[in-house]
Amino acid sequence: MLETNTTGALKAARHRLAWLDQLAYELFRVTGRSQLMQCLWLYDRDVNRAALVQTYERLIALSFNRLIEPSSFPWGRPRWVAGTSVPFEQNSDPLPRSQLLQWANQHARAPIDPVSGPAGRMAIQAFDDGSTAVSIVGSHLVLDGMGALRVIASAVNGTGVPNPYLPKGGRGRLSGCLSDARQILADAPQTVAALVRIAQAHWYRPAAPVKGSAVAPAAEAVHDPSTIVELPAIALTVDSHAWLACEQRLGGDMSTLLPGFVASLASSLGRRRFSDGAISLLVPRSRRRGLADERALAIEFHMMNVAPEGLTRSLEPVNAARALLRGARKSQTDVLTSLLPAIAWMPRTSAKTLVNGLFDYSDELPVSCSDLGMLPEGLARIDGAPCRHLLTRAVDVNVTRRDLERSHGHLVVVASRYDKKVSLCIEACQLRPTPTTADELRLLVSRTLADFGLEAAIEA
């Protein structure tokens, strides 16, 4: 529900985080894991820095530039406040062109904090072949990928919603406490109902045993579960005509080659459901209601189950799975939404338990498969003129070995289209027998491309 009311009894709810956003915030507080989005523009020349600065100034004046202010009460709702300045780094010392993704990874790992700030960063980097890259990184706790792309496009076009938020602490302590208390009382009926649902669904249900092969304690003891693991990532670009021809050759409906490709790659990485060997694709769908929608995560999550065998010969199993997905009446988000009003009243670690139970990491091993489609008009002109290449990707930072053990590894794929090219940005890691390296991931992706008869330019 869009929570931007400003009149009457609902005024206390103004700029509160939506329930799903609050769950994501609680998970961040529990795990310290940052889920980020990054957009990369690549030009064959130096960028127009004056035009780029103008886009930057427009961007920080929009609602994209915001932070989360926790409530004064343990059970209160956090709210949106105006952001701090967004760092803008400019480096004219050229790097080797082969280090594009390494530079992008380094920029994504610079400090980002959606509470204390900054919640985003921008950078320019020159390369030794005369090309220049621009990077914008932001926290998913502030906006989802599609929302961020639309805001950036609106900054390029000189449109958008001006930042409506007060600075941190701008309500005053007494006024803020009274407002938060009123909101707690207003939320009480939903909170009680959610607590009852959780008790019925989880507290009285015996814990299901974790499935899969056991690991010998001696082998497990050599690993520190708090060790931070840098997830390998690659980006690939395929000619859109070749992509479409492959989809048609394999009998796929529109946009079924991506889930087929991801399912095949997931199978190679061992992310097959323990119960039946299928691949569980977690497919987000945007439900954003324009630029004034204050939700950070204005998305629904649907699970699409695909058997990976034979997908390089026929995409019919994906066609069937998509048809079932279109006809599904409930999504993972629908179930989650009914439980979220209780999140502030539960122990923090329960947020992780809630997500684990809904997405069943013990059996389904979900794979995130996000298709952003054709990128918004104007997005490519961040310096006033179209770039040559545009990449959008997800980046997970501060991921511990414990996190990867819990989810039995990691695979996230983000696809987008721009200028007759289809781009896939892939972040993946399996822990055994040893953690996946970038070279190993590139080899697996190359083999999967070859299996589908596709050629691609790969950045690693």
Question: Tokens for 32?
Answer: 């310290």
What pLDDT, on a 0 to 100 scale, did the predictor assign at position 72? 86
What pLDDT, on a 0 to 100 scale, did the predictor assign at position 6? 36
Chunked into runs of 10 residues, the chain (460 residues) has average pLDDT values of: 36 77 88 94 96 94 93 89 92 92 95 94 96 97 94 92 90 84 86 81 49 45 82 97 97 92 96 91 91 92 92 94 69 73 75 68 85 92 96 96 90 96 97 89 97 95
Question: Tokens for 142?
Answer: 């502030």
Burial of 59 from C-beta contacts in 10 A (0-12 / 13-18 / 19+): buried
What does the alpha-carbon distance between residue 429 and residue 439 come to, in Å, rounded to a whole number? 12
Nearest to 333 by CA among 365, 297, 280, 371: 297
What does the alpha-carbon distance between residue 33 and residue 179 come to, in Å, rounded to a whole number? 30
What pLDDT, on a 0 to 100 scale, did the predictor assign at position 14? 76
What pLDDT, on a 0 to 100 scale, did the predictor assign at position 204? 44
What does the alpha-carbon distance between residue 176 and residue 160 come to, in Å, rounded to a whole number? 28
**Is 415 within 8 Å of 394 (Cβ atoms)?**
no
Nearest to 112 by CA among 28, 53, 41, 55: 28
What structural domains does the chain harbor?
19-186 (3.30.559.10), 233-459 (3.30.559)
What does the alpha-carbon distance between residue 377 and residue 160 come to, in Å, rounded to a whole number? 14
Contacts made by residues 53-57, CB under 8 angstroms, sequence distance 24+: 53/88, 55/155, 55/156, 55/382, 55/383, 56/86, 56/88, 56/122
What does the alpha-carbon distance between residue 323 and residue 255 come to, in Å, rounded to a whole number? 12
What pLDDT, on a 0 to 100 scale, did the predictor assign at position 324? 76
Q: At a CB cut-off of 8 Å and minimum separation 6, what does 302 contact?
A: 282, 283, 284, 285, 325, 328, 331, 332
Question: Tokens for 66?
Answer: 């915001």
Q: At a CB cut-off of 8 Å and minimum separation 6, what does 304 contact?
A: 259, 280, 281, 283, 321, 322, 324, 325, 369
Nearest to 148 by CA among 68, 29, 36, 33: 36
Residue that the structure tokens 């399912």 belong to: 263
CA separation (Å) from 142 to 137, 165, 266? 11, 13, 29
What does the alpha-carbon distance between residue 243 and residue 434 come to, in Å, rounded to a whole number? 33
**Is 396 within 8 Å of 412 (Cβ atoms)?**
yes
pTM of the model: 0.90
What pLDDT, on a 0 to 100 scale, did the predictor assign at position 74? 82
In the DSSP assignment, the letter for residue 235 is: E
Q: Where are the alpha helices (DSSP H) in 158-226?
A: 173-198, 217-220
Residue that the structure tokens 């100034």 belong to: 57
CB burial of 241-252 (b: ≥16 within 10 Å; e: otherwise) equals eebeebbeebeb
